[in-house]
Amino acid sequence: MSQNRTTELWLGEALIREIIIQQLPPGLPLREQDIADRYKVSRPSAREGLRLAAQAGFVEILPWRGARVANIDMDEFLDLLGLLEDMYARVAALAAERMAVAAIDELELMLPKDASQLPETSNKGKIYRISFTIGAFIGQHCGSPVTRRLFEHVGRLVLWQQRLHRPGTPETELESLHAHRLMVAAIKSRQCDVAAGAARAIILITRRTLHPEPIRESDHTVFANPKPQRVRRVAAGDGGTSLEN
């Protein structure tokens, strides 16, 4: 890979990181010369970095008007969440099938033990980092590099938008903690369908906060309005883990 190409890839990632952490807010004009000066790169490299960020969905390039940080409206955000829901279900099912035992042990350590270990609900950034760290780890160990890359790409777009919208309440955080526990337990016991359902629940909790009414048929699931459940250990021959109301 050429030095210019390496610089451009690095710059594209740097711009995306700044957008995700809201250092560059939606709608902000992005001028090639300003970026070149700030990062001490050539103007052609700045242009290519912007193009790569645009390919990832974080920047809009407008003919004759330059570039700006993308604006994603609520309908588009809900579409992104629907896409992430489907992808997370697939990734969790693959992880239940393929994740190595050592990785599962590491995954279990990432889970908060109880609600007292959740960050204060006023600090949503930390809560999102817990959830997305777990999701990224599951994607990394799902056994499908292509699926992992696509999942991470959509996940970063959703993380950016979640930080902007700040959804969530103490009740939804507890629901999310339960769903994460259920997903990890299902991955450990190799129950692909249960892992997929729990992954869908994690995304549905956020979607219900933003849009309380079901917006598509798949929202009508047992996870759309989660009830307290626990994982029950059963005999190995019966599948290892099941759910109780």
Cβ contacts of 196-199, under 8 Å, gap ≥ 24: 196/89, 196/90, 196/92, 196/93, 196/96, 197/89, 197/221, 197/222, 197/223, 198/92, 198/223, 199/85, 199/88, 199/89, 199/91, 199/92, 199/93
- pLDDT confidence of residue 1: 42
Q: Which residues contact 136 (CB under 8 A, 6 or more apart)?
A: 152, 155
Give the sign of the dihedral formed by CA 42, CA 40, CA 19, CA 88.
positive
pLDDT band at 244 (very low <50, low <70, confident <90, very high): very low
Q: Of the CATH numbers 3.10.20.30, 3.90.650.10, 1.20.120.530, 3.40.50.300, which one belongs to the domain with range 74-244?
A: 1.20.120.530
The overall average pLDDT reported for the chain is: 82
Q: Of the CATH numbers 1.10.10.10, 3.40.50.880, 3.10.129.10, 3.30.365.10, which one belongs to the domain with range 3-69?
A: 1.10.10.10
Residue-wise pLDDT tens digits, 51-63: 999 999 999 998 8
Measure the CA–CA gap between 68 and 24, rounded to whole angstroms: 9
Residue-wise pLDDT tens digits, 88-111: 999 999 999 999 999 999 999 998
* Mean pLDDT across 77-81: 92
pLDDT band at 165 (very low <50, low <70, confident <90, very high): confident
- Looking at the chain, the domain(s) classified CATH 1.20.120.530 span 74-244
- pLDDT confidence of residue 168: 67
* Mean pLDDT across 173-194: 93
Residues 177 and 224 sit within 8 Å (Cβ to Cβ): no
Where on the phi/psi map is residue 124: left (φ > 0), alpha (ψ -120 to 50), or beta? alpha
| Paired tokens of 35 | 């970026």
- pLDDT confidence of residue 45: 93
* Cut 0.85: pTM above it: no
Where on the phi/psi map is residue 57: left (φ > 0), alpha (ψ -120 to 50), or beta? left
- pLDDT confidence of residue 173: 78
Give the sign of the dihedral formed by CA 231, CA 229, CA 175, CA 112.
negative
Residue-wise pLDDT tens digits, 116-140: 556 555 455 566 778 889 999 999 9
- Looking at the chain, the domain(s) classified CATH 1.10.10.10 span 3-69
Residues 183 and 205 sit within 8 Å (Cβ to Cβ): no
* Mean pLDDT across 225-240: 42
| Paired tokens of 51 | 């193009």
* Helical axes 170-188 vs 124-140, angle rounded to 10°: 20
